[in-house]
Structure 1
Amino acid sequence: MAGHRMAELAIRPAMVDLLDTLHRGEAGIGVEEMVVSPGTNAIQKTLDEAGLLAPEAARVLAVRKSDGTLNVNPQPGTRLDDGDLVIALGTEDQLFASASKLR
């Protein structure tokens, strides 16, 4: 693991610095996982219909379906199902706004 980390640092120092900054929460932004809760209005809606693409929402990076399929950089028409995991990047306020749409 340490060898891989050193290689990444040598090859992609800016990316490693960004990920470290996000991990430590120093940039005022973070990455969160949010589960689509049972009974939420977001079930069977697209990301757009669920309000996850609104300006006040966090940026959706990926959606992991309940079967394990990972959809990176999902399209606005991606449908949400009960138990899906939404991975998003944003400020605390943006992440809270997005999470509230999935409860």
Structure 2
Amino acid sequence: MSTWIALALTVAGCYALKLAGLLVPATALSRPLVRRLAALLPVALLAALTAQQTFADGRVLTLDARAAGLGAAAVVLLLRAPFLVVVATAVLGTAGVRALGG
């Protein structure tokens, strides 16, 4: 399959998915279960993406400096630090472990 065919199919699929979302009736979106799922879904997706980017290296699970940065960020998050402080702690924790040879 050529790259342009794959690109065209991806564009068509994204457009169809967006159109399907717009065609959902408002009564279906106002249900309490749907509202709860819509509120929790981004958190679950972000957690899955964070775990995949932290502990995976291709097809192998790894435990390296990224995990140390995530742990440092979790500690600061438990202390109720602002978001930018949490991100900075993760960056500095990862960089510190890498600088020490980890």
TM-score (norm 1): 0.27
Q: Which has the higher contact order (CA 8 A, sep 6+)?
A: 1
TM-score (norm 2): 0.27
